[in-house]
Amino acid sequence: MPFHFLPGDNNVTIVNDGVSKKNPYSTTPNSQNANKLLKKALDSKDPYRIGIALHTFADTWSHQNFTGMQEDWNAVYPWYDFVKNLAPHIGHANAGHSPDVISETWTDHRLARADRQMVNGVRALDAVQKIYESLSQFTAKGPKWSNVANIYSGSIINADDFNSRIGAIATLVKNSCNNESVPAYDSNTWINDALQKNGLKVEFKDENTLKYTHWYKFNQAAKEQLAVVADLIKDL
C-alpha cells in the first residue's frame, strides 16, 4: 500500500454484488495524497526518495480503482468466471498484469458498462504529463509540456511492446544527454554491491561501508516514504 496502491480520494464507485460502494483505500490517479507524497520527496532533494515517490505516483494511474489489501473490492471478473477468480483479490492480481502493460486494453467489470474499457496508453500519457509538469515546476527548467508531448505520445507511449518502449526511451535519453548511453540495467547490482564474502558465507558489508551503498540509501528512503504514507492515511 505505501509504495504501489496509495489510498486516494475515495471518489470512485464500484458495484459489488449489486451494491454500489466506495472504498477509502482505493487508489485514484493524481490524488491529493500522491501529490503530497511527491512534493515531500522533491523537497528532500534525495534522489532515492524522489525515485520511489515517482514510482508510487505513476502507480496511481496504472493501479487506479484497486487497493493493496485482500478484499472483494479487487474482484475484477464476474463471480462465474471461475478460472480467473482463482487469483487472489489482492491489488490487481485478479486482472493479472493487464493494468501495468502500457500497450494493453482490458475490461474492468466492476465499473459501469460505459466505463469498463481501460486503454492503458491514455492513462500512461496522462501520468507522464503530470510527472513532467511536477518535475519541471520544481526545477523551473525545461520546455512546456505542449512542446514535448508528441515525443512521449509517439514512439514511447505508442510502442508495440516493452522492449520497443525501452529502446525508444534509451534513444530519447541519449539524444537529450550529449549522446550518453543508458547503462545496462541489472536488478542485482545494488544488492551485490552491499554484500561481501566472508569465507563460505555471504554477508552485508560492515556498517561504515554499507551506509554509502545505493542499496542502503534506497532502503533508508523507503523507510522515509513508509513514515510519510503512514501519516497521510492515519485517519482512514
* Residue 149 included in any domain: no
Question: Measuring CA to CA, which residue among 235, 236, 229, 234 is closest to residue 1?
Answer: 229
Q: pLDDT (tens digit, 9 = 90+) per residue, 170-189?
A: 888 888 888 887 788 899 99
Task: Provide the pLDDT confidence category of residue 213 given band limits of 50, 70 and 90.
Answer: very high
Range of the domain at 134: 14-142
Q: How far is CA 208 from CA 111, 181, 211, 212, in A?
A: 52, 32, 6, 8
* Residue 9 included in any domain: no
Question: Measuring CA to CA, which residue among 52, 62, 50, 35 is closest to residue 126?
Answer: 62
Mean pLDDT to the nearest integer, 51-68: 98
What total number of domains does the chain contain? 1
Q: pLDDT (tens digit, 9 = 90+) per residue, 101-113?
A: 999 999 999 888 8
* Residue 29 included in any domain: yes
Task: Provide the pLDDT confidence category of residue 83 given band limits of 50, 70 and 90.
Answer: low
* Residue 94 included in any domain: yes
* Residue 179 included in any domain: no
- Considering the entire predicted model, what is its pTM? 0.92
* Residue 91 included in any domain: yes
